[in-house]
Structure 1
Amino acid sequence: MAAAHVSMPGTRGTNLEFADYSLYSNLSDDELMQLAIERSLADGQSSGPRSENSNNPAALNMPTVPRQAPPTHRPQQQLEPAACPANPPRENPQGVCSVGHFVTGSGKRMVAYRRYDGTMQVVPEPEEELAPIVKAILDGDVGTVRLLVKQPGCNVLAPNKDGWIPLHEAAYYGQDQCIKILLRAQPGMVNQRTLKGKTALMFAVSRDHLACVESLLENGADPDISNMDRETPLYKACEKENPAMVAMLLNYGASVNKNCIQGWTALHESVCRNNVEICEMLVKAGAKVNMPNMYGITPIFVAAQSGKVDALRLLLKNGADLNSQAADGATALYEACKNGHDEIVEFLLSQNADANKPGKTGLMPIHIAAQRGNDCIVSMLIPATSKARVRRSGVSPLHLAAERNRNDILELLIEAGFDVNATLSDDRSMMYEDRRSTALYFAVMNNNIDATTMLLEAGANPNLDTFNPLLVALRQGCIQTVTMLVKHGANVNAYIPTHPTAFPAAVMFCMKHLTLLKYLMDNGCDALSCFNCVYGRNPHPPIKIRRNLRYDSDETVEKTCVQFCELISTETYSHWAGPIIDVLLDYVGHVKLCARLIEHLDSYDEWQCIKEKSTPPRPLMQLCRLKIRKLLGINRLKKICKLPVPPRLIKFLNHQEREIDF
């Protein structure tokens, strides 16, 4: 009972004074509750007219409890004293008894009232007494029903608290003989509704009582009266998949195209359940096969969405529009692809369904199939899809396959000739914070090495995105992806437009990975720019903490180019300054270290040799190596192993002279 919500409005006229309560100390809880309710009703009736009393919620919800005789050992006159003492109650100044009604989670009706000592008492609500005719209907006693309807005092139109009359009870419990007796006595009640708008016919159909349905229809029941959800008996019969009942309702003139509150018709419901027999009856009775619901969904759309191929064949045979679109632009083919119904897709394509109709999002069936990873459907859609229409959509299925790591789909699309360098349209690219635009970027961002390999080997350009995929791979520290990208021409000197730096951004992402830093330098990364400081040997200004303009829109901070010495002086990289500078010095000639870099090298005694290494003049061998590398170029250096050059020279040019065994 703790979970139940108890609402106990205060009732006028239930106040028993404390001294008054002492008169009833020997009464039981049930007797006290009954007495309080009786006095509340009596006071309510004597206080004013009915219209005033009807505004009291407690009076409206108060059950009628028959007056019981008091205990025989107590005089009758003590139950109703002439006046109550003026002594007020101790704990409840506004009334010592309040009654509330509620329903438990299991549907049991309860009554709650507060005792005069402040405790709560909860008891089951007295059940509504069944009328004799209703009891006879529930028992299936046809003879008693026949006798009762003939009695003058029997009111077959008297409703219960839910608005049910005996006819509704008979229809609900399948008592067709009782229905006939009731309708002979009062034929005008055949279409009377309950408080929820249900007729006896609706009850009979919902409960699959065919004989009751027939009796009601024969006696003039209207088959088109709907409930509060605008569902008709025909709709319910289709929901129950009862062909005999559907045929009977249609024979009595049920409207076949009447829709429910969401525009769903009986044909929609039958198609959803793949009941071909009922679908045929509805179509022959005039059901519109292209009638949409409130979302623009036609029956053929429902069949494709739920994978009902038999119903789909029937609809197409009867003239359904194969390429009709819902309110969001989706077609039957799109929905079949979305839900992975291979058989439906195959059938729709065999009937020449348009595979190039995009929805309002711009996505075509092949897009959604690639996104869902159904390689069988993608294989069927590839021949039917126009690559030109795909380009106009602003997104390639390659993007969606790479984004969801659908490697099998990616391979199929590449083999089918889809452009691996297709870029997202501007509006789609702006949906991503990093403004990504290629399928390769998605693959690298997901750290999907297989997808990255497939795209690069198929000719993907690694330099089309605003934020270079190489920088993503460096930030992830994936050496395999970095080497693949560099091998296929990724720009090792790429910059980030939104964060200008005086040196390549690639250096920034691999300062803690000296192996990667050396690999980038071997492949042409500009090391000299790291030593081009605008302050030189002069004192450097303190490093300013730059706020993010995206979060501080009220302040305008001038975007200045970040110097290498500023970045390496941050807490993250300052402990690595010496080894980083040492690697960079191997790829430059005469340079002058700025004041801040010298300060770093002076901070550790072990780094003094690095400082001496930078002191001019640099060794002649180092200057020659740089000159040869510059003349050959990076592309030739990558192929130098194939040239008739001594191995020692190759190692020297690749900064591997320490491995030379003299």
Structure 2
Amino acid sequence: MDDLEQDSINQELIEFALQESIQDLNKSAKTSSTEPHSEAFTKIMAAIRRGDSCALQQQAARPSAYRERDSRGRLPLHVAAPRPQPDVLRAVLQGTASAHLTLEVQTGEGDTPLTLAVAAGLVDNVKILLGHGASPHNTNSRNESPLLIGCTQELSAWLKGPSSDDKGGTAVRQRSYDMVLTLLMGGAFVEQVCWTKWTATHEAAKVGCADVLTQLLRHGAKVNSRDGHGVTPLAIAAEHGNTEALDVLIQHGGDVNAQATNGDSVLYDAAGSGNLDTVELLLQHGADPNVASFAFQLPIHRASYEGHILVLRTLIPITSERAIHLSGQDPIHSATDGGQVECLRLLIQEGRDVNALLGTHISENYGDLRKTPLFFAISNGDVTCAKLLLAAGARTELDPLRCILVAVRAERHDLVQLLLSYGADVNCYFRVISNTLFPTALQYCLSDHIMMRLLLNSGYQAYKCFQCFHGDDRGMDSRWIDLRNRVYQIYSQPDVITFCEFVSVSWLTHLVGGTVRTLLDYVSYVSICPKLRRILKMGPEWEEISDILSKPRTLQHLCRLAIRGNMSLTTLNDPRAMAAVPLPPTLQNYVTFRSFSQHTDLTK
């Protein structure tokens, strides 16, 4: 066993012994707060609140009153300790001594007189208590030592806001420094920890008080001590962007490449703070930007996700491509996931690949097995980032679950329209859940009539919804006859689901009539199989559907389908490409189904 392990064991034994002694003292000293208070106790408490030390001296001969507690389990000593009247505290200490009470007795909430005085920021009271024998080692109910609480005071005071006569916070810092120095001179153990192994050095690094930090280090604080998560004070200072405190720690031997239990490096934490001075200071002292966390995150990923563009500019040229490749994700993924438009724009300008794919070890952490930055943008509903990526050449078909299907399922008409305008395949399939004969997108919008129209207007293959073998093939149109053999090969597989089978479940039958009526606007002649016909006859739309099926389709409609069939989906869905098509505006509107009021509502 080495000296470090022995010191750690000895420290834990000391802390355990201290806690046990405090509990024993509390058991013997506490009395029920529900007991009726004596007249002397009432007078003592009133005198403390008035700040009347003379009246308290007159009650010093009433030791039993000093053992009584108020409704919060506080003795007179607990009430006097956090009040800014040192004379009152001295008078109460005289009465406490006559009552033979220890100075380590706790309130009902677990605070000692010393921790209360420290929490109140009263240096004079702390000196008085230490002078009367109060222990600087005993903690409150959260196992926080007086020294740790003293380091916290500056942060608490600063959060409340500096007073009008202390605009720079100098007085706050001086009080914190004096408090810490008083406790250290009173014998406080500088490496004492709370339940999470958080030390006073960690707290001083978090607050950013360089003077306090210097005093702690001079009194033996370990610059590379770790809390319960393996985080060093250096990482805490970096995380909160406290450059001055960081510099003090580095000068005293702080490890700039230390990693926490989860692998987060000091530079990673600094990148998250967004403080460029902190990042540059670490880099000047040898911090490695290519060290990844155990979650495969690099500092450049953190800066991209958080939107710290100045830090990102600094990290881009010094982060190696090998480190990014091994991490399994590009900074573009992080910027897109965080919705950081400016960072994304910068990364694109720097030549990062907008079609970079997540590594398998990262992609598998997502249930949808996403791969591309574009998927993050669509999944987050981020139109701005999606436009940036698409304009820079992002492809829409690289993810196992296509981006357009995610947008359809999320009922994001704007994203669907955007993806279609950049060539997304409206007729793509995702067969992991439902292996359908018809393109997948329709099953996500059966109850969204506007979305359905948008897909159909954009070239969705509506005729595939009428392909099945539940009836004969008399009266089929030529397209169906030509495809019959190929479709049969697909349908002969027992796991392929046709449209009539998909909508035959009880929770979808009420949508079938409206869906079929809409689909008929986008096909020539089709036959309705007996299975689908039985469902349709139960709905109010059957009469209109039956009327359409019983009559020949108009030549005008058939010509529209023929024209659309000879146009690519890219041209059909790109307004600029359609504008170049040599057709009169009226005919263009007819071919693109703009005559439907639903499409007009969508564009509005």
**Same fold, TM-score > 0.5, yes or no:** yes
1:312 counterpart (236, 246, 252): 246
Code of the residue aligned with 2:287 in structure 1: it is A
Deviations 1:8-67 (A, max 9, x none): xxxxxxxxxxxxxxxxxxxxxxxxxxxxxxxxxxxxxxxxxxxxxxxxxxxx978xxxxx
The residue number in structure 2 matching 1:502 is 437
Aligned pairs for 1:112-511 within 5 A:
125-129=37-41, 139-140=52-53, 160-161=67-68, 174-175=86-87, 193-195=104-106, 223-224=136-137, 226=139, 229-239=142-152, 241-251=175-185, 253-426=187-360, 429=363, 432-474=366-408, 481-482=415-416, 484-497=418-431, 498-506=433-441
The residue number in structure 2 matching 1:65 is none
The residue number in structure 1 matching 2:511 is 572
Contact 2:422 2:570 in 1 (8 A): no
2: distance between equivalents of 1:143 and 1:471?
A: 78
Offset at 1:566?
4.7
SS at match of 2:399: coil
Offset at 1:461?
2.0
1: distance between equivalents of 2:559 and 2:280?
A: 68
SS at match of 1:585: coil
SS at match of 2:552: helix
Contact 1:164 1:194 in 2 (8 A): no
Offset at 1:573?
3.5
TM-score w.r.t. length of structure 1: 0.59
Code of the residue aligned with 1:583 in structure 2: it is Y
- In structure 2, the CA distance between the partners of 1:343 and 1:526, relative to structure 1 (3 Å rule), is same
The residue number in structure 2 matching 1:563 is 498
Code of the residue aligned with 1:503 in structure 2: it is F
The residue number in structure 2 matching 1:516 is 454
Deviations 1:64-92 (A, max 9, x none): xxxxxxxxxxxxxxxxxxxxxxxxxxxxx
Deviations 1:517-576 (A, max 9, x none): 55443xxx556544432223289xxxxxxxxxxxxxxxxxx9843323456774314235
Code of the residue aligned with 2:471 in structure 1: it is G
1: distance between equivalents of 2:560 and 2:415?
A: 32
Offset at 1:320?
1.0
SS at match of 2:67: coil
The residue number in structure 2 matching 1:534 is 469
- In structure 2, the CA distance between the partners of 1:342 and 1:520, relative to structure 1 (3 Å rule), is same
Contact 1:337 1:377 in 2 (8 A): yes
Contact 2:426 2:455 in 1 (8 A): no
The structure number with the bigger radius of gyration is: 1
Code of the residue aligned with 1:561 in structure 2: it is V
Deviations 1:166-212 (A, max 9, x none): 999997752499699979xx99x897532468877667666666566
Q: Which runs of 5+ in 2 are unaligned?
A: 1-29, 154-174, 475-492, 595-604
- In structure 2, the CA distance between the partners of 1:158 and 1:331, relative to structure 1 (3 Å rule), is farther
Paired residue total: 500
Contact 1:223 1:232 in 2 (8 A): yes
1: distance between equivalents of 2:396 and 2:250?
A: 48
Contact 1:444 1:469 in 2 (8 A): yes
Aligned pairs for 1:9-20 within 5 A:
none
- In structure 2, the CA distance between the partners of 1:606 and 1:339, relative to structure 1 (3 Å rule), is same
Structure (1 or 2) with the greater helix fraction:
2
- In structure 2, the CA distance between the partners of 1:408 and 1:607, relative to structure 1 (3 Å rule), is farther
SS at match of 1:292: coil
1: distance between equivalents of 2:548 and 2:126?
A: 102
Contact 1:323 1:353 in 2 (8 A): yes
2: distance between equivalents of 1:232 and 1:516?
A: 65
- In structure 2, the CA distance between the partners of 1:257 and 1:508, relative to structure 1 (3 Å rule), is closer
- In structure 2, the CA distance between the partners of 1:561 and 1:179, relative to structure 1 (3 Å rule), is same
- In structure 2, the CA distance between the partners of 1:181 and 1:516, relative to structure 1 (3 Å rule), is closer
2: distance between equivalents of 1:165 and 1:481?
A: 66
Aligned pairs for 1:581-600 within 5 A:
581-585=520-524, 594-595=529-530
- In structure 2, the CA distance between the partners of 1:559 and 1:458, relative to structure 1 (3 Å rule), is farther
Contact 1:578 1:610 in 2 (8 A): no
Contact 1:462 1:490 in 2 (8 A): yes
2: distance between equivalents of 1:234 and 1:354?
A: 34
TM-score w.r.t. length of structure 2: 0.64
Q: Which has the higher contact order (CA 8 A, sep 6+)?
A: 2
1: distance between equivalents of 2:257 and 2:593?
A: 71
Offset at 1:139?
4.8
SS at match of 1:491: coil
Bigger mean CA offset, 469-478 vs 325-334: 469-478
2: distance between equivalents of 1:530 and 1:168?
A: 79
- In structure 2, the CA distance between the partners of 1:472 and 1:611, relative to structure 1 (3 Å rule), is farther
- In structure 2, the CA distance between the partners of 1:637 and 1:367, relative to structure 1 (3 Å rule), is closer
2: distance between equivalents of 1:139 and 1:653?
A: 93
Aligned pairs for 1:65-144 within 5 A:
102=34, 125-129=37-41, 139-140=52-53
2: distance between equivalents of 1:369 and 1:288?
A: 29
Offset at 1:387?
4.0
Offset at 1:275?
2.4
1: distance between equivalents of 2:179 and 2:412?
A: 67
- In structure 2, the CA distance between the partners of 1:614 and 1:174, relative to structure 1 (3 Å rule), is same
Contact 2:231 2:261 in 1 (8 A): yes
Contact 1:355 1:381 in 2 (8 A): yes
2: distance between equivalents of 1:190 and 1:302?
A: 40
Code of the residue aligned with 2:242 in structure 1: it is K
2: distance between equivalents of 1:201 and 1:171?
A: 7
The residue number in structure 2 matching 1:86 is none
Deviations 1:310-367 (A, max 9, x none): 2111111211112222333333333344344444334434444333333343333333
Q: Which runs of 5+ in 1 are unaligned?
A: 1-59, 63-100, 103-108, 112-124, 540-557
Code of the residue aligned with 1:516 in structure 2: it is L
Contact 2:47 2:56 in 1 (8 A): no
Code of the residue aligned with 1:382 in structure 2: it is I
- In structure 2, the CA distance between the partners of 1:343 and 1:654, relative to structure 1 (3 Å rule), is same
2: distance between equivalents of 1:352 and 1:267?
A: 23
1: distance between equivalents of 2:571 and 2:143?
A: 79
Deviations 1:455-489 (A, max 9, x none): 22322221122222223445567666445534544
1: distance between equivalents of 2:236 and 2:581?
A: 74
Deviations 1:199-239 (A, max 9, x none): 77667666666566667767877654555555545445545
- Percent identical residues: 29
